[in-house]
């Protein structure tokens, strides 16, 4: 029987994947509080349903940065997807292209970026528009080392560069520290110069950095292997300007969690921002992304699109994020669970579940289109009395 929920898809994936691979994808940092909060916070929001409204036709389509899309849901970047099975990133790209969904490719993918977008470009041959594919970037400490990836992505046809800004150092990911993720023979990370483990006795640079007990130890590791691909010296002044100078792709910042940084993003002319806490894999005491969203939306004031990822597991979660002002929502782990469960078809199953749940939630809430999803349709359990308080 086909899975009916994303939790059921994850259960299938968990049973299929080797334990260390599942843990690599599923775990957060430290005590995994941020990971749990990302999901729990959605449950505190309620939807106030309106009735006697004609919802015989519900439209889930939307637009983002000039592109028309079937859903306000895209696929977030996640590393090393071939570990999940099948053709990895190619299966995910096939699903995104077939369903007209936005996709962001991780720079630490196990497939060449040109091959991934090549899947999408076949849409033209079939006479249908290709959805926008974006390229995620970790900026090297020596920014010039990032130029080959940026140039390749632009030449290949990626429409935006998604700069991850929340990894000046890596979070304390205990599962990765305890069990090394070893790439099988014949599998590599072809898009970046990022040494990976070739055996259980040779941990990756990232794992060595997480295991470093002092800043001096971490510096010694960087000195040994060269500039880190997780820059701790990025700044608003130099980093956005550097990217503007070297590419014509749109620039999106992933990892914005405060009104202050949202305002600075607008000030420095980026094209969009993603409210993200790295799936709970960085700062464990960060708020959930849905909790951070309102102040970010307030600061942006509609001047650029605001996207959100983290904790989204149902169509109702998508609805709530849109109601709080997100223009678009990304899912990462659910796509991986779909991939692990049944390849391309599994990814399509995940996105179809979300589409059906979103459409049903909209109809039950009395909403016919994405633009009608507003904060007025949300509530929260009142603290001072029994009932529901409007947001």
CA–CA distance, 178 with 359 (Å, rounded to integer): 42
CA–CA distance, 171 with 49 (Å, rounded to integer): 40
Q: Using DSSP bridges, classify how beta strands 45-47 and 378-381 pair: parallel, antiparallel or unpaired.
A: antiparallel
First-residue to last-residue Cα distance in the chain:
39
Give me the helices (H) in 269-332, please. Answer: 289-300, 315-323
CB 75, CB 330: distance < 8 Å: yes
CA–CA distance, 113 with 90 (Å, rounded to integer): 10
CB 271, CB 240: distance < 8 Å: no
Q: What angle do CA 351, 101, 83 make, to 5 degrees?
A: 65
Question: Dihedral, CA atoms, 271, 115, 77, 243, nearest 10 degrees?
Answer: -30
Annotated binding residues, as ranges? 77-79, 106, 136, 138, 164, 173, 254, 276, 278, 281, 309-313, 332-333
Order of strands, sheet of 378-381, starting from the edge strand that comes earlier in the sequence: 45-47, 378-381, 388-390
| Annotated catalytic residue 20 | no
Select from 198, 160, 203, 195 the least CA-distant residue to 179. Answer: 203
CA–CA distance, 352 with 108 (Å, rounded to integer): 27
Annotated binding residues for FMN, as ranges? 77-79, 106, 136, 164, 254, 276, 309-313, 332-333
Q: What angle do CA 150, 154, 156 make, to 5 degrees?
A: 115
Annotated binding residues for glyoxylate, as ranges? 138, 173, 278, 281
The residues assigned a catalytic role are 278
């Amino acid at each position: 029987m086909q899975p009916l929920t994303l939790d059921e898809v994850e259960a299938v994936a968990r049973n299929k994947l080797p334990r260390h691979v599942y843990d690599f994808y599923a775990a957060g940092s430290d005590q995994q509080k941020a990971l749990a909060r990302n999901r729990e916070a959605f449950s505190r929001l309620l939807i106030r349903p309106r009735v006697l409204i004609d919802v015989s036709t519900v439209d889930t389509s939307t637009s983002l940065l000039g592109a028309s899309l079937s859903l306000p849901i895209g696929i977030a970047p996640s590393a090393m997807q071939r570990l999940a099975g099948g053709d990895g990133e190619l299966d995910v790209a096939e699903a995104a292209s077939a369903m007209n969904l936005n996709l962001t490719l991780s720079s630490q993918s196990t497939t060449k970026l040109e091959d991934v977008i090549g899947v999408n470009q076949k849409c033209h041959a079939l006479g249908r528009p290709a959805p926008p594919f974006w390229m995620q970037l970790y900026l090297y400490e020596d920014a010039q080392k990032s130029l080959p990836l940026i140039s390749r992505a632009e030449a290949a046809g990626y429409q935006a560069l998604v700069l991850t800004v929340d990894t000046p150092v890596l979070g304390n990911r205990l599962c990765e520290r305890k069990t090394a993720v070893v790439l099988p023979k014949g599998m590599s990370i072809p898009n970046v110069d990022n040494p990976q483990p070739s055996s259980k006795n040779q941990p990756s640079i990232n794992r060595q950095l997480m295991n470093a007990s002092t800043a001096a130890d971490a510096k010694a590791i960087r000195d040994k292997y060269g500039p880190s691909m997780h820059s701790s010296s990025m700044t608003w002044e130099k980093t956005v300007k550097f990217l503007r100078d070297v590419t014509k792709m749109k620039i999106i910042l992933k990892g914005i969690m405060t009104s202050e940084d949202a305002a600075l993003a607008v000030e420095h002319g980026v094209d969009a921002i993603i409210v993200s806490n790295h799936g709970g894999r960085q700062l464990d005491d960060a708020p959930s992304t849905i909790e951070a969203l309102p102040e970010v939306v307030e600061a942006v004031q509609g001047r650029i699109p605001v996207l959100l990822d983290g904790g989204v597991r149902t169509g109702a979660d998508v609805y709530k994020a849109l109601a709080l002002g997100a223009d678009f929502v990304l899912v990462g782990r659910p796509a991986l669970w779909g991939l692990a469960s049944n390849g391309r078809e599994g990814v399509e199953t995940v996105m179809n579940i979300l589409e059906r749940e979103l459409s049903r939630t909209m109809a039950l809430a009395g909403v016919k289109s994405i633009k009608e999803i507003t904060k007025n349709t949300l509530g929260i359990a009142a603290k001072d009395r029994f009932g529901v308080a409007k947001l």
